[in-house]
Amino acid sequence: MSRFHQLLLILSTIALGWLAMMGVHELGHVLSAAASGGTVTRVVLHPLSFSRTDVTPNPHPLFVAWGGAVGGCLIPLALLAVVRAAARSHAYLAAFFAAFCLIANGVYLAVGSFFPAGDDAGVIMAAGGSQWTLILFGLITVPAGLYLLNGLGPHFGLGPAAGNVDRRAAIAMAVALVVWVVAASLLSG
């Protein structure tokens, strides 16, 4: 039974991590749009599509485009700090999420700088940002994310933990994933 809970914890944490990463990334866009005088006309967070934030008018597209990745990294790091202070026994879940967000946002911008299209890297470069800043962002955030992942394996039943995980955490993550999927599906129309 411990392998079931291990698999449940790993899969639900990864899936929820992906969906929540897109959520905080878009929250970064929303906050930067609001701070720069832009108007958010639509946020797409449907679980079966890539997230997107539409801003019209967007008086500062460079700031808003950077806001997604920067907010998408800083918000999870702030969450990690809060969880470490308030619920230390479950800080590994927040550390995984922060690591996931750092890696995903870093890779997204660094790799996107080589294929600038309509994504954030394309908007940043079209608005005057340079490719080297996108690559530098990835060179900072990806290693930081890998650093946060270091030592988390036993919490997920890997290595010496031999499949043993916190069953309540596994169930809580699965429930949180279902709630996120249902809520995002309903809110995305």
Task: Name the pLDDT band for 158 (thresholds 50, 70, 90).
Answer: very high
**Residues near 180 by Cβ (< 8 Å), separated by ≥ 6?**
16, 19, 20, 47
pLDDT for the residue numbered 1: 57
Could you read off the pLDDT of 68-122 as tens digits, one per residue? 999 999 999 999 999 999 989 999 999 999 999 999 999 999 999 998 777 999 9
On whether residue 30 sits in a domain, the answer given is: yes
On whether residue 103 sits in a domain, the answer given is: yes
What's the rounded Cα separation, in Å, for the pair 9 and 15?
A: 10
pLDDT for the residue numbered 3: 92
CA geometry: angle at 74 spanning 69 and 77, to 5°?
130
- β-pair partners for 53: 43
On whether residue 165 sits in a domain, the answer given is: yes
Q: Which residue has the higher pLDDT, 78 or 185?
A: 78
pLDDT for the residue numbered 2: 79
Average pLDDT, integer, range 136-164: 97
pLDDT for the residue numbered 164: 95
Instruction: Decide if pLDDT at 182 tops 90.
Output: yes
Task: State the total domains in the chain.
Answer: 1
On whether residue 186 sits in a domain, the answer given is: no
pLDDT for the residue numbered 189: 57
Could you read off the pLDDT of 11-69 as tens digits, one per residue? 999 999 999 999 999 999 999 999 999 999 999 999 988 899 999 999 999 999 999 99
What's the rounded Cα separation, in Å, for the pair 108 and 29?
A: 15
What's the rounded Cα separation, in Å, for the pair 29 and 23?
A: 10
Q: Which of 137, 145, 143 is nearest to 113 (CA)?
A: 137
On whether residue 127 sits in a domain, the answer given is: yes
51 secondary structure, DSSP code: -
Domain that holds residue 52: 2-181
Cβ pair 41, 118 in contact under 8 A: no
On whether residue 126 sits in a domain, the answer given is: yes
On whether residue 107 sits in a domain, the answer given is: yes
Neighbours of 167 (CB within 10 A): 15
On whether residue 189 sits in a domain, the answer given is: no
What's the rounded Cα separation, in Å, for the pair 64 and 53?
A: 10
What's the rounded Cα separation, in Å, for the pair 45 and 20?
A: 9
Least confident of 1-5, 111-115, 154-158: 1-5
Q: How far is CA 111 from the centre of its chain?
A: 16
pTM metric for this prediction: 0.95
